A and B are shown apart, each in its own frame.
Chain A
């Protein structure tokens, strides 16, 4: 079975550029989560969706960050304009339902470097 699929795996770009990260959740999973991982701040939840609807975006750092889920099989996280402090590994995860007692399945992540 295919797991959570993220693209690209690596992205290196210059500050000021728009960055788009993509995620395909596991088929049949109704909840999708975007996380950011850094050495300093650990694993932070940015936003999560339930049935394609954003439920909690309180973790989104600022207006430069936006996330969409146009359908059940696709989500994007955009950073515009990007800054060097956005450099991190961004994970997408999905779970069967939005209930917190469901395990989350993580993708391989996107390693983002902003120069």
Chain B
């Protein structure tokens, strides 16, 4: 089946440091979404990328979709304690299953 892998699984940073999580698919994706889940909470939609090479920004967060549409990244500049949580990518294959497949997630811990 479709594999959507995320690295790293876990990252611990000092407040103010940058953070990046990477999402890789074994197949071409038609689109990719990013979600954030706070500890004890539920996933919350952040953004969607559709075009090859697309880059979108939300304040300190920068999202990128690879040229081949097989990978994506989320970069947080100058992390804050409010960034703590697990970040998931979710992708839809160009063919086959119609629903999104969620990645394994990257858990971010920010030390004040």
Contact = CB atoms under 8 A, between A and B. Distances in A.
Interface string B63-92: 000000000000000000000000010001
Interface in A63-115: 91, 93, 98, 100-101, 103-109
B43 A106 contact: yes
B22 interface: no
B30 A91 contact: no
A103 B48 contact: yes
Contact of B102 (A43, A98, A109): A43
A65 to B, nearest CB: 17
A58 B98 CA distance: 12
Contact of B99 (A56, A91, A108): A56
A103 B45 contact: yes
A106 B45 CA distance: 9
B83 to A, nearest CB: 19
A105 B44 CA distance: 7
Given A43-B88, A100-B31, A105 B45 contact: yes
A58 B43 CA distance: 22
A43 B107 CA distance: 13
B110 interface: no
Nearest to B104: A42
Contacts of B100: 45, 100, 104
A6 to B, nearest CB: 9
The 7 closest A-B pairs by CB, nearest first: A100-B92, A103-B45, A106-B42, A43-B102, A42-B104, A106-B43, A101-B31
